Amino acid sequence: MSYELVFEKLVNFDIDKARISVNVELRLGKDTVNFKANIDTGASFCIFAREYGEKLGISIEEGFLRYFNTTTGNFRAYGHGVTLITEGFAFDSQVFFAADESFQTNVLGRRGWLDRVIIAINDYDGKLYLSRYESE
Amino acid sequence: MQAVLDEIIEKTARISDDDRDKLIQILQEQKRKIKPNGKKGFVHPNTLWVKEHHAEYQGRYVAVEDGKLVGTGKNFPEALAEAKKNGSEKPMITYLPRDDEELRGGW
């Protein structure tokens, strides 16, 4: 038995990098901020460095507080509603900004991104195939 | 200062494309560096709704627009479909974790 999927986008990524990352834009009103984020199936939500939320003018600590566990401990982050754009696909979503300024990891996780896209990864060739779920 | 700038420009003309991209990124980060804004910033009405109502909808997806609930569902497509049925054009859709649910910060 074979299976076939058709995707809207093909994104090339650097196979020499330790992680698979894509371009991210966050938008709130007229403000935008751009950076790269890693695709992480082990992250429950999309979690970004607080500086990106602050650049959008967000009051970080007034968001939806949750604690996230990692292999080395846990950290505090606050959920905020923003427009999340990756490779041209825009979603109004809740993303989390880490409370700690030293947290510099940016991940696209399951809730908020992976739950609304369909992806396929060809790691050998550095190719990421991407579609938004609702366009099926 | 102009002499330093001229020297930097001359040197950057000889670096690889990858190194140039790195340099651009670093310069952009330096320019954008801002200090924490404490509690003086903005909070979206949808965020305020989540803070106030998450306990009522924990374990489900909600669609919220302009600070009002416009749909719910057990997954993203369900919440989106209900929001559209209710006339919502651009809802924020999010999962609301259960209070006892372990959230992971990544691998």
Q: What single letter denotes the amino acid at residue A109?
A: G
CB contact under 8 A, B44 and A80: yes
Instruction: Over range B10-17, report the average pLDDT.
Output: 87
Window 1-60 of A: residues touching B by CB (8 A cutoff) are 28-29, 33, 38, 40-45, 47, 50-51, 54-60
Count Cβ atoms within 10 A of the Cβ of residue A69 and give its class: 0-12 exposed, 13-18 middle, 19 or more buried. Answer: middle
Tell me which residue range forms the domain holding B69.
45-96
pLDDT tens sequence across A70-126: 988 899 999 999 999 999 999 999 999 999 998 888 999 999 999 999 999 999 999
pLDDT tens sequence across A4-17: 889 999 999 998 88
Q: How many domains does chain B have?
A: 2
Q: Is residue B17 part of a domain?
A: yes
Class of A9-135 in CATH: mainly beta
CB contact under 8 A, B39 and A59: yes
Count Cβ atoms within 10 A of the Cβ of residue A125 and give its class: 0-12 exposed, 13-18 middle, 19 or more buried. Answer: exposed
Based on the domain organization, do B49 and B82 belong to the same domain?
yes
**pLDDT of amino acid B33:** 52
pLDDT tens sequence across B16-56: 887 887 787 667 656 545 455 555 688 999 999 999 999 99
- Of B61, B48, B57, B53, the residue nearest B93 (C-alpha): B61
- Whether the predicted pLDDT of B65 surpasses 70: yes
Is residue B5 helix, strand or coil?
helix
Tell the residue number behind the tokens 């991940």, with chain if given: A107
- Whether the predicted pLDDT of B73 surpasses 90: yes
Q: How far is A95 from chain B (nearest CA, A)?
A: 9
Chain A residues near residue B90 by CB distance under 8 angstroms: 92
Tell the residue number behind the tokens 């979603």, with chain if given: A91
Tokens of A118: 């369909």
Based on the domain organization, do B50 and B90 belong to the same domain?
yes
Higher pLDDT, B31 or B103: B103
Q: Is residue B105 part of a domain?
A: no
Q: Is residue B67 part of a domain?
A: yes
Q: Work out the pLDDT band at A135, boundaries 50, 70, 90.
A: very low
pLDDT tens sequence across A14-69: 988 889 999 999 999 888 999 999 999 999 999 999 999 999 999 999 999 999 99
Beta bridge partners of A34: A25
**pLDDT of amino acid A91:** 93
**pLDDT of amino acid A36:** 95
Based on the domain organization, do B54 and B81 belong to the same domain?
yes
**pLDDT of amino acid B34:** 45
Count Cβ atoms within 10 A of the Cβ of residue B76 and give its class: 0-12 exposed, 13-18 middle, 19 or more buried. Answer: buried
**pLDDT of amino acid A66:** 96
